[in-house]
Amino acid sequence: MKVVSTSKSHGGIQGVYSHASEACACDMTFAVFVPPQAKDGPPPVLWYLSGLTCTHANVMDKGEYRRLASELGLVIVCPDTSPRGPDVPDEKDNWQFGCGAGFYLDATEQPYAQNYRMYSYITEELPALVAANFPVDMSRQAIFGHSMGGHGALTIALKDPERFKSCSAFAPIVQPSTAGWSRPAFEKYLGADEKGWRAYDTTLLVEDGKRFPELLVDQGTADGFLQDGLRPWLLEEACKKAGIALTLRMQDGYDHSYNFISTFMDDHLKWHAARLG
């Protein structure tokens, strides 16, 4: 692991790091904020997954999480959204696919299967790296994210409810297998057989029996992607049928940007801190 940069903030340390990833077969960059409480013992860790076109830097620069994370004693880990590099297959004119759009799945189709293994990276490789190099209590983990990252957080939590104490999302893509901006990516990454898509679709995972005790979702009513891409009512319907406690807050007048995310970031941090103990 290489240290790209470190900077003191609110008594803690905001760092950016890189490493050679086996899962993604390229160098990957991620950010970690360690609060001042780490000097007294390992704090819990909260994973933040970013959305389409983003890197680790978007939430680090615009998410406004450090002040409250420092007060609450939370380690915040911010991975990248996809593999990157000159040898990584990409569609440079398509922001909904390729670099910046890994969708937190393990691709099975060529030429993407070698690099686009973000599910394994987020759930296996990066946690092992973080546990080995930072003062974190891996028995207390939580996860949240935005848009594509909200999709990632929800699907990862549903498939591993014993690992995560809590899960929330900002404007998640709740049914990517049918959404116009994600369905083409799923076919390219996972092939034409839609049965293989179900493992990375929140509503279908719930339909197939996956469960998580409770979820918090914030969604802006002025979000331009609300009707065609996000459709939180599908998650609401699935959770109601499954008996999953969903707190869905429709925030009047908010859009899809980090102005929306930063407004409600404190609420999500407090939600997770209360459940992490």
Residues with active-site annotation: 147, 223, 256
- Residues 6 or more apart from 18 whose CB is under 8 A from it? 1, 2, 4, 27, 28, 29, 30
Beta strands in the chain, from DSSP E residues, in sequence order:
2-9, 12-21, 26-34, 44-49, 75-79, 137-146, 164-170, 214-220, 245-251
- 41: region left, alpha or beta (phi > 0 left; psi from -120 to 50 alpha): left
Q: Is the dihedral of CA 147, 149, 81, 14 positive or negative?
A: positive
Which residue, 268, 111, 120, is CA-closest to 200?
A: 120
The residue with tokens 């830097």 is 57
Backbone angles phi, psi at 150, to 5 degrees: -65, -40
Residue type, 71: E
Residue type, 24: C
